[in-house]
Structure 1
Amino acid sequence: MPEPNRLLRARREAKPSRTTPGQGMSRQELVKAVVAWLWDTTNTRYDLDPRLLAKWENGTVKWPAAHYRAALRAVLGASTDAELGFAPSGQLVPTTSGRLGPVVDVEPWRLTDALTRSAISGAALDHMEHAVLGYAARYPTTPPDELLPLVSGQLHRLREALDQPQHLRERRRSVVLLGVLAGLSGGLWLDLGRPGESADYFDIGEQAAQEAADPDLAAWVLATRSVGPFYAGHHDQAGELLARAEDLARARSSYRRQAWIAALHARAAAMAGDREGSLRALDRAHSALSSNTDAASGTDFFDGPRLDGIAGTVYLSLGDTAHAAPLLDAALDRRALSDAKGRALITLDLAECRLIENEPEEAARLTVGALRSAAGSLVGPILDRARGLHARLAPWRSTGAVTDLDTHLKELPRG
């Protein structure tokens, strides 16, 4: 069992609580104070979890990141890390009795060597970054079983690099890239119908974002993660993830990223029955995208055609096909032909519009077209949606278009 950090806990409890008279500061209060201090001094919004503070106090983590130590010193009125019970691995701080524990002797030249030695160069990381962002750009157009081996291979190389000494700046870049790859892996495993593996990789992506103190990466991982619960019908859960992502994105994300997250939030809110919240989020998406001046790149890909598609889905979910259908048509006209998965989902939304408007044969024809266009990339959400439409078209099964859909679905593998 690790030795608890009694100095840190004592400092916290000696600080008066602002909410409970006569009590010491709670962990939650300390977390809020640390985050506020970091925002005031660095203009960066950190997502500090109270569970991490608990690890500092119980001794599981003995040497927090430098920015957290600085914030704790300021909030708790300490002059040194040692006063808060923190010490690098291998070194013991003075105990409450005043006796100094054993100190490992480290020659200065060894510290200099450790600081300047790096197993990976900045140039190598440039190449890795180019590859990783290339995988992100290919995600919409590449079948998951083709892309996953490439992403997994790059993850293995980054893990090996992180096992070796690195400059701090190279290590942070490596951690960010690992977070992007973990998020991509989460999405790919989800596409392959493996939610357990998907959750594991999204957890790693969130951990990497926290380790790198990168709110933009955290926002991207959370938004990407929301796709799973959304298509599983857990729209409130997806909305909670997206609300967190929107908060993080305001700190340091591009307008393009903010627009994407707000649009996804609008879609989740619409499916959850929150009409007003959905339309407000859609307004935020339009406003953010209209403010964007940067070119799309890597994971920051959101654009007008994608916003049209999601807006069409929002209005369809709200039962307004008069607004939904033109937006979906416009999205299909402008969406890249190579984006097979995205185009298929938009086409299925349009098929639902036609079914609601009492055009069952057109709905069936569009559904078949969506399945054919996404051949090779028939991920779960596409198949589930097509089968749902097929079931609703049962009263018109004798018509030619519905018969064609029936035949097409029977030829597809189950799962």
Structure 2
Amino acid sequence: MMANETLRGLRRKQRWTQAQAAQQVCAQVLAATGRDPELDANWISRLERGAITWPSGDYRTALCVVFQVGSEAELGLHPKGDAAGASSAQDASSAPADDASSLYADTELSARLARHAAATNVNGLVLEQFDADVERLARDFVSRPLTLLVPEIRGLRTDVFRLLEGRQHPGQTRHLYVLAGWLSGLAAHVSLDLGHQPSASTHARTVVQCAEVAEHPRLRAWARSFQSLAAYWTGDYRQAADLARAGCEDGRGPSSGTITARLLSLEARALAAGGDGRSALRSLALAHEARSSAERDELPGVFAFPEAKQWAYTGTTLLAVGGDEQVQRAIVASNRAVELYQAGAEGDRSSGDLHAAHLDLATAYLASGEVEGAGTELATVLGADQYTASITIRLRKLDTLIGSGPYRDSRPVVDLREHIHEVTARPALVSTPTEPR
């Protein structure tokens, strides 16, 4: 029995104990097959002592991936009784040889290339499970508590990033980058909901990079929509409009879902906030046209753009354009958003969208002199426990509007303002996180 010094040397180069090497192999087999072999330090020891010279195929593939080699021969592995052949295979391509040995070397080179091309640390079932997990998280993000979702989002991102450090077929690598992009998008939403813009921007740039590597236009277009959203909530309305416009270049086309309607709505809202009412109304009309021809979204929940959400954006845009006619249209649009959300399934109901629509209605009623109606809408929002960062911003803006209005000294208005001050002093940590509006 001859010791496998090659494998021992590779392990020591990684500075792994035999137990750590066994853990790496177990993780690789689990990722590739879904089966945990429960190997231990003794198994690695038997390989290094030469007691095992040719483990099963799954284990050989896992060892090649873990130690980043292209063939079993580079691990010092060989079928029983073929130790000499294993060492000669490593040198066959460079040693002087007659025609027969040259043919053998060429054949071994092709076989080595085939093994290298076939080696992967994922399979169809692993990718299918990741797809299902991302879809579930995207749907749950609208209505489930943030504290329950954040650890799972982080865990899945870590798993995907770790797999990308290994080897896959090109199509599998692209698939993993798309998954990494959507998961980074969820992380970006978490940061924006908590009011941490720098983190949200970093996550968004990662989404763009993943989309570029995966050559996935819809993911890239969605990333631009998120960047537009973030710019809007920092008050950079010109950049928000520009980013939405840039995203439209990737969002149009077959099977593009509602992304074009989303981007045009974002552009309209940003233009209105920036004072370009005419362009805002034009983009708003285009957004509703895009809705009429939109196909099904690739992912649901926070990555989709439901009709109720579009009406909420419409109400905000019309309010920003201003004027009696547009204010009345805004009331209709915001009421339509509330109706659609309340009529929808509870799991699809976004509390953030409802808050935004009610606050727009309160603003519109104040602009129309209907103080009682404004108070009713505002009371609906003030009854919540916590808010996203964007709803807190909306409440503060509404407080400023109330404070500058003709009714600012009346007792009901003073009480409302005190309540707004109380709730906006709370941390921007939400129990039902939603995308900033």
Indicate whether the TM-score tops 0.5: yes
CA contact (8 A) 1:365 1:405 kept: no
CA distance in 1, matches of 2:148, 2:254: 32
| Aligned residue number for residue 121 of structure 1 | 123
What pairs with 1:68-83 in structure 2 (closer than 5 Å)?
A: none
Q: 2:393 aligns with which of 384, 387, 391?
A: 384
What pairs with 1:332-351 in structure 2 (closer than 5 Å)?
A: 332-335=338-341, 336=344, 338-351=349-362
CA distance in 1, matches of 2:201, 2:389: 16
CA distance in 2, matches of 1:313, 1:163: 44
CA contact (8 A) 1:364 1:405 kept: no
CA distance in 2, matches of 1:119, 1:226: 36
1:407–1:308 Cα change, 3 Å: closer
CA distance in 1, matches of 2:213, 2:180: 11
Q: 2:381 aligns with which of 370, 376, 389?
A: 370
Determine if the alignment matches structure 1 residue 321 to structure 2 residue 327. yes
Q: 1:186 aligns with which of 164, 171, 188?
A: 188
Determine if the alignment matches structure 1 residue 396 to structure 2 residue 413. no
CA contact (8 A) 2:399 2:420 kept: no
Q: CA deviation at 1:227?
A: 1.2
CA distance in 2, matches of 1:222, 1:142: 25
CA distance in 1, matches of 2:189, 2:312: 20
| Aligned residue number for residue 262 of structure 1 | 264
SS of the residue 1:294 aligns to: coil
* Rg (Cα) greater in structure: 2
Q: Which deviates further from its counterpart, 142-151 or 346-355? A: 142-151
Length-normalised TM-score, structure 1: 0.69
Q: CA deviation at 1:159?
A: 0.7
SS of the residue 1:204 aligns to: helix
Q: 2:178 aligns with which of 173, 176, 187?
A: 176
CA distance in 1, matches of 2:393, 2:217: 33
CA distance in 1, matches of 2:367, 2:241: 26
CA distance in 2, matches of 1:267, 1:305: 16
Q: CA deviation at 1:399?
A: 2.5
CA distance in 2, matches of 1:309, 1:404: 23
Determine if the alignment matches structure 1 residue 107 to structure 2 residue 109. yes
| Aligned residue number for residue 244 of structure 2 | 242
Residue identity matched to 1:149: P
CA distance in 2, matches of 1:279, 1:411: 33
| Aligned residue number for residue 365 of structure 2 | 354
CA distance in 2, matches of 1:170, 1:265: 35
Deviations 1:128-157 (A, max 9, x none): 111112212222323444432221111001
Q: CA deviation at 1:255?
A: 4.1
CA contact (8 A) 1:202 1:225 kept: yes
Q: 2:308 aligns with which of 300, 305, 308?
A: 305
1:144–1:402 Cα change, 3 Å: farther
Q: CA deviation at 1:263?
A: 1.3
CA distance in 2, matches of 1:260, 1:331: 15
| Aligned residue number for residue 407 of structure 1 | 419
CA contact (8 A) 1:396 1:402 kept: yes
CA contact (8 A) 2:257 2:297 kept: no
Residue identity matched to 1:309: A
CA contact (8 A) 1:390 1:406 kept: no
| Aligned residue number for residue 225 of structure 2 | 223
CA distance in 2, matches of 1:293, 1:234: 31
CA contact (8 A) 1:344 1:371 kept: no
Q: CA deviation at 1:192?
A: 0.9
SS of the residue 2:142 aligns to: helix
SS of the residue 1:260 aligns to: helix
Superposition CA RMSD, Å: 2.2
Q: 1:164 aligns with which of 143, 148, 166?
A: 166
CA contact (8 A) 2:153 2:183 kept: yes
SS of the residue 1:141 aligns to: coil
CA distance in 2, matches of 1:295, 1:180: 13
1:184–1:409 Cα change, 3 Å: same
| Aligned residue number for residue 35 of structure 2 | none
CA distance in 1, matches of 2:332, 2:424: 30
SS of the residue 1:391 aligns to: helix
1:252–1:221 Cα change, 3 Å: farther
Residue identity matched to 2:331: A
Q: Structure 1: 5+ residue runs without aligned partners?
A: 1-105
Between the two structures, name the one with larger relative contact order (CA 8 Å, sep ≥ 6).
2
Q: Structure 2: 5+ residue runs without aligned partners?
A: 1-107, 428-437
CA distance in 1, matches of 2:194, 2:303: 23
Q: CA deviation at 1:279?
A: 2.0
CA contact (8 A) 1:259 1:289 kept: yes
CA contact (8 A) 1:182 1:202 kept: yes
1:293–1:249 Cα change, 3 Å: closer
| Aligned residue number for residue 206 of structure 1 | 208
CA distance in 2, matches of 1:275, 1:381: 22
CA distance in 2, matches of 1:301, 1:327: 19
CA distance in 2, matches of 1:296, 1:208: 16
Length-normalised TM-score, structure 2: 0.66
CA distance in 1, matches of 2:242, 2:127: 34
CA distance in 2, matches of 1:120, 1:364: 56
1:359–1:304 Cα change, 3 Å: same
1:406–1:296 Cα change, 3 Å: farther
CA contact (8 A) 1:219 1:248 kept: yes
Aligned residues: 308
SS of the residue 1:176 aligns to: helix
Residue identity matched to 1:113: R
